[in-house]
Amino acid sequence: MSSNSPTGPSAGPGADGRSATHFVASLDETPLVETDTVQVSERPSNLWIDAWRDLRVRPMFWISAALIVLVIIVALMPWLFTQTPPNNDCHLSNSNAGPAAGHPLGFTKQGCDIYSRIINGTSTSVSVGFIVIVLTTLLGVVFGAFAGFYGGWVDSILSRLGDIFFSIPYILAAVVIMSVLSQYRSVWSISLAIGVFAWPQTARVLRSEILRVKNADYVMASSALGLSRFKILLKHVLPNSIAPVIVITTISLAAAIVAEASLSFLGVGLGSDIMSWGNDINNAQNDLRTNPQTLILPSIALSLTVFAFISLGEVARDALDPKARALR
């Protein structure tokens, strides 16, 4: 059972178990000796160290982490990867043309360089993803923490409020908001439209985790020592219940990127002046029969980015949640 637990060293006392260094009953008197033994030389262990030990041997973690680092570098410094302007160097004579020197992926219908558009569209997707998770985490942590920790009528009000937001699928809500905000289409407004309806999930996850943690002995101990309720929440309960929030946040980031692309694909996302993979997919959809590459290439970029964040979230869940680990 404890076979993959790093804290179960077989190097306990010898078979006779009568070593004077241990103040516990000998092995033949009780089989509990191994768990009672404290290995002073053993490195300290907690959830995060255990999780890291689990993560660093998993290839999936390194693949997704490498992909994410690459995506972030492309988003921050697109000029390292291409010098071709995505919008201002388009010649209709190149319309839907195949790869050429300096243009490795060919051209769009408008004769723009596909490679450059993919590279320059990265920052849009990544920005929307990060703005949305900042928003959902802020709202979700405040709502979830207060609802779970204080309980009672605070919980009733906050949870019902969350239910209401949760009952409108967030892409549909964002469609309505973006239809109304048609004059204000930007990375900020679209992130707001997605984030305002996507937070209840974070709140629910945190709330149920806090319900589990808040009756732990160390919480009661801090209470007995006279720490205020709010300080207990901040110093003891939140740090011990934040792990599932990190997992759901990583996955929400991917979902936000999909949401932005979906909205842009539907034509209520970003304006045509902003580089977005969703916009490019939308513009190429009528050419699927004749020039599939104009649609498939941005789709691949989008899917790889989403894949990177989702698989990071999933390996993190496996590492942080012992129950998920058992399913592996």
Please say which residue, 32 or 304, places its beta carbon nearer to another protein.
304
Q: What angle do CA 291, 296, 300 make, to 5 degrees?
A: 160
Minimum distance from residue 304 beta carbon to another protein (Å): 8
Please say which residue, 76 or 288, places its beta carbon nearer to another protein.
288
Distance CA 328, CA 323 (A): 9
Q: What angle do CA 170, 173, 176 make, to 5 degrees?
A: 150
Q: What angle do CA 136, 142, 145 make, to 5 degrees?
A: 120
Minimum distance from residue 14 beta carbon to another protein (Å): 35
Please say which residue, 233 or 257, places its beta carbon nearer to another protein.
257
Please say which residue, 88 or 183, places its beta carbon nearer to another protein.
183
Task: Count other Cβ atoms within 10 Å, centred on residue 160.
Answer: 10
Minimum distance from residue 137 beta carbon to another protein (Å): 21
Minimum distance from residue 161 beta carbon to another protein (Å): 8
Q: Output the six-digit token pair for 62.
A: 């390194």
Minimum distance from residue 93 beta carbon to another protein (Å): 26
Q: Which amino acid is it at 129?
A: G
Q: Residues in the site for another protein, rule: CB under 8 A?
A: 160-161, 163-165, 167-169, 171-173, 175-177, 179-184, 254, 258, 261-262, 265-268, 281, 285, 288-289, 292, 295-296, 299, 302-304, 306-307, 310-311, 314, 326-328
Please say which residue, 64 or 222, places its beta carbon nearer to another protein.
64
Please say which residue, 149 or 265, places its beta carbon nearer to another protein.
265
Distance CA 112, CA 117 (A): 8
Helix (H, G, I), strand (E, B) or coil at 19: coil
Cβ proximity of 131 and 187 under 8 Å: yes
Minimum distance from residue 18 beta carbon to another protein (Å): 38
Q: How far is CA 61 from CA 54, 121, 308, 318, 328, in A?
A: 10, 25, 9, 11, 15
Please say which residue, 37 or 262, places its beta carbon nearer to another protein.
262
Minimum distance from residue 26 beta carbon to another protein (Å): 34
The residues, ordered by sequence, that sit 6+ positions from 203 with a Cβ below 8 Å of its Cβ are: 139, 140, 141, 143, 144, 147, 158, 162
CA-based R_g, the chain, Å: 26
